[in-house]
Amino acid sequence: MSLAHATYPVYADLRWPRMSGIAKVQAACLAAAPGHVNLIDLHIPGGLGSPIAPISVSRSLQRVGPTDGVFWNPGFIPPVWSDMPSVVTVHDLTHRLFYSPMHRAYYDYVLKPLYRRCAAIICVSEYTRDTFLAWSGMSPDKVHVVLNGVCPDYAANRETLNLPYEYVLYPGNHRAYKNLPRLLEAYACSRLPQHDIHLMLTGELNPALQAQAEALGIANRVHFCGWYDSTDLAKLYRGARAVAYVSLYEGFGLPIVEAMASEVPVMTSNVSSMPEVAGDAALVVDPYSIAEIAAGLDTVALDDTARREFIARGTARLPLFDWQHSAAHLWRIVDAVAAGGAKS
């Protein structure tokens, strides 16, 4: 078909939770969809974490019937069977590496052969593409890198939440690989408590982390702030002294660029994709070293010269993470699949 003139349907799995990283990617790509793409939500039943999720995708595609369309999933779930070519975004291999042996087996024996049948796989960093290729054995010409972008609301916002204390922010969930016990211990060892700079964590109160904070004598300065919508989350970032994101593994690490856009210095890890995303615009530390994390907290929260330098570098680096550019790249890949430029 002539993609300059022809409209074609893209059937999508749009179930991703509103505040998740995948939902942010989904929203940005939907907003930038070209006029010749007719996006159709498949309204797939069942949970995203269900082991039969790929079957649910296939059944929903089967109900569509014969079509010249494309299936697009902004998350990681491919169909088991479909005559329609599929484009699936693989954000990371976290479930395979940091969850149970059953998760690892599911990836190795169920998802891997399904990914190989896809017309195109999109990865969100060079690191993720490299690890995905080494694991999957797919042809490199079918695996593409489309960097995540950062919502322009972060840079546009100039407001804070006017909290009654200064704080370093950890924005994310509390899964084990996020390395929060080491972050709490490093905070207790840092100079931040004596400067009355608190530690703010998104998400609901975590009993295990709260108990650790009490044992470390820092419970009165550690806060669990729940979940914010995008407007208030931007304010939470803007009001922080720094962002601390010392995860043990990320496929990209959206909080790194959200901090840059908020003109807040960020400390992150020297493993997986995080050095690639951070470049020279963040303080990069060994996430397994409590002493290094503690020293890093002191630098990004208390060293005004270093803080100004990281903020300036972050602002200069932001154009690499533009959603208009990234979404346009994704839709070019989908166009090529629709035109038969990639074979399943």
Are 185 and 130 contained in the same domain?
no
Are 159 and 289 contained in the same domain?
yes
**Residue segments in the chain with a per-residue pLDDT below the cut of 50:** 1-3, 5, 343-344
211 domain-assigned = yes
> In terms of pTM, does the model score above 0.85?
yes
- The CATH code of the domain that includes 25 is 3.40.50.2000
Q: What pLDDT sits at residue 89?
A: 97
289 domain-assigned = yes
Are 315 and 329 contained in the same domain?
no
Are 286 and 332 contained in the same domain?
no
2 domain-assigned = no
Q: How many CB atoms lie within 10 A of CB 257?
A: 26
**Total domain count for the chain?**
2
Are 161 and 103 contained in the same domain?
no
Are 82 and 192 contained in the same domain?
no
Alpha carbon 252 to chain centroid, angstroms: 6
Q: What pLDDT sits at residue 343?
A: 44
70 domain-assigned = yes
Are 16 and 141 contained in the same domain?
yes
57 domain-assigned = yes
Nearest-Å Rg of the Cα atoms of the chain is 21
Are 258 and 332 contained in the same domain?
no
CA proximity to 209, closest of 166, 172, 162: 172
Q: What pLDDT sits at residue 342?
A: 53
236 domain-assigned = yes
Q: How far apart are CA 203 and CA 233, in angstroms?
A: 12
3 domain-assigned = no
Q: How many CB atoms lie within 10 A of CB 221?
A: 18
Are 74 and 181 contained in the same domain?
no
By CB atoms closer than 10 A (0-12, 13-18, 19+), residue 259 is buried
Structural domain boundaries enclosing 96: 8-149+322-338
Report the largest interatomic distance among the alpha carbons of the chain, rounded to a whole angstrom.
Answer: 66
Are 142 and 276 contained in the same domain?
no
Q: What pLDDT sits at residue 3?
A: 46
Are 201 and 119 contained in the same domain?
no
Q: What pLDDT sits at residue 18?
A: 73
Structure confidence by residue, pLDDT tens digits, 97-120: 999 999 999 999 999 999 999 999
Write b or e for each residue in 162-195: b if 16 or more Cβ atoms lie within 10 A of its Cβ, otherwise e.
Answer: eeeebbbbbbbebeebbbbebbbbbbbbbebbee
Are 232 and 124 contained in the same domain?
no
Tokens standing for residue 308: 């100004």
171 domain-assigned = yes
- The torsion angles phi and psi of 68, rounded to 5 degrees, stand at -100, 20
